[in-house]
């Protein structure tokens, strides 16, 4: 069976700007794929190429086994999408906006609109003009339009944008249930690592237009490095003490001292002893796993520095 998404050495440049550079990725059917990258990394351009909105400068894109291009109707009856910020016809009601989507997708079930309104908790706003919606509800409307025809593949660009924390959890649950219960494939981009980490089966990291890493979500847990986190009264002095004792990785980050030397992680009691002897007993000493942001920044730094 073909992949849900398959890109083969896809590139896109706008004048002298290389937005996407030789990206080859494959997303299996039924998979939740997180597409991570900083703002301007090339996520939205890649998504637009997947949806045939932008023609690649080089390479090919296949969606649900069909080559994406300007000719033919493509696989779009089975694809739902939300690209960038949600948009709507402001003079139409929420229901009318969705009704347009239903008809464009050729959905015969006349109740589909009401069903998705209920599912996305938009009932209270169904008769309201879309132009009056808050950003969060506009995002729900965009998601509703992407999901109302029960697509086999859902492509979402920053789906958590504008949602409050409860809304984020709710949408996460909805997407997880679509993938796990209905077997839908989800391709979602985000610059929020924790969000992708909680949902994705596999993660692709894009930086400066290039896919620099692709890994299973479980593997991400394993490869994030361990570090010793220390709090004491005088962080600068403590850092001096540790560096003079060959713990050269000691750095101050967010009002704490972080040491990544293998010996420090494996034998934190040695560090505690050193600090006590120097008259700066630690008030907090813990071996922690590098957080996702740190891992991400480390990875992107290795691959060409900050963007």
Residues found near another protein in the complex (CB under 8 A): 48, 51-55, 70-71, 73-74, 76-77, 79, 81, 83-85, 87-92, 96, 100-101, 103-106, 145
* DSSP three-state, residue 238: helix
Q: Rounded to the nearest 5 degrees, what angle is found at the Cα of 61, between the Cα atoms of 56 and 65?
A: 160
Least gap, CB of 170 to another protein (angstroms): 23
In angstroms and rounded to an integer, the radius of gyration of the C-alpha atoms of the chain is 24
Q: Of 104 and 267, which has the nearer Cβ to another protein?
A: 104
Greatest distance between any 2 Cα atoms in the chain = 77
256-289 burial: b if 16+ Cβ within 10 Å, else e? bbbbbbeebbeebeebeebbeebebebeebeeee
Least gap, CB of 304 to another protein (angstroms): 24
Tokens (6 digits) for 191: 């610059």
Q: Map tokens 């005088």 to a residue.
A: 234
Tokens (6 digits) for 224: 């994030």
Q: Map tokens 């220390």 to a residue.
A: 230
Least gap, CB of 81 to another protein (angstroms): 6
* DSSP three-state, residue 59: strand
Q: Of 61 and 179, which has the nearer Cβ to another protein?
A: 61
Tokens (6 digits) for 143: 């998601």
Least gap, CB of 95 to another protein (angstroms): 11
Q: Which H or E run includes 139?
A: helix 135-147
Q: How far apart (Å, rounded) are the C-alpha atoms in residues 192 and 173?
A: 17
Least gap, CB of 287 to another protein (angstroms): 47
Q: Of 52 and 268, which has the nearer Cβ to another protein?
A: 52
Of 113, 95, 117, 94, the C-alpha closest to 105 is: 113
Least gap, CB of 117 to another protein (angstroms): 17
Q: Of 145 and 202, which has the nearer Cβ to another protein?
A: 145
Q: Map tokens 């009401």 to a residue.
A: 114
């Amino acid at each position: 069976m073909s992949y849900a998404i398959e890109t083969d050495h896809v590139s896109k440049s706008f004048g002298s700007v290389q937005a996407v550079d030789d990206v080859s990725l494959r997303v299996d059917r039924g998979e939740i794929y997180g597409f991570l990258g900083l703002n301007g990394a090339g996520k939205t351009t890649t998504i637009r190429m997947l949806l045939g909105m932008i023609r690649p400068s080089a390479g090919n894109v296949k969606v649900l086994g069909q080559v994406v291009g300007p000719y033919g109707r493509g696989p779009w009856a089975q694809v739902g999408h939300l690209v960038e910020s949600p948009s709507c016809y402001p003079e139409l009601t929420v229901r009318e906006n969705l009704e347009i989507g239903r008809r464009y997708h050729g959905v015969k079930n006349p109740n589909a609109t009401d069903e998705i309104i209920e599912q996305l908790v938009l009932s209270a706003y169904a008769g309201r003009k879309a132009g009056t919606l808050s950003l969060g509800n506009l995002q729900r409307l965009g998601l509703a339009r992407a999901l109302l025809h029960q697509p086999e593949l859902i492509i979402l660009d920053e789906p958590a944008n504008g949602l409050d924390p409860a809304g984020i959890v709710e949408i996460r649950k909805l997407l997880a249930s679509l993938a796990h219960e209905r077997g839908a494939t989800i391709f979602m981009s985000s610059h929020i690592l924790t969000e992708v980490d909680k949902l994705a089966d596999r993660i692709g990291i894009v930086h400066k237009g290039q896919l620099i890493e692709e890994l299973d979500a479980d593997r991400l847990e394993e490869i994030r490095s361990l570090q010793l986190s220390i709090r004491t009264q005088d962080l600068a002095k403590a850092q001096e003490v540790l560096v003079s004792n060959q713990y050269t990785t000691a750095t101050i980050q967010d009002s704490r001292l972080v040491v990544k030397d293998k010996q420090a992680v494996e034998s934190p009691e040695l560090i505690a002893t050193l600090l006590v002897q120097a008259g700066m007993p630690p008030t907090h000493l813990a071996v922690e796993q590098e957080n996702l942001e740190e891992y991400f920044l480390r990875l992107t730094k290795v691959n060409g520095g900050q963007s």
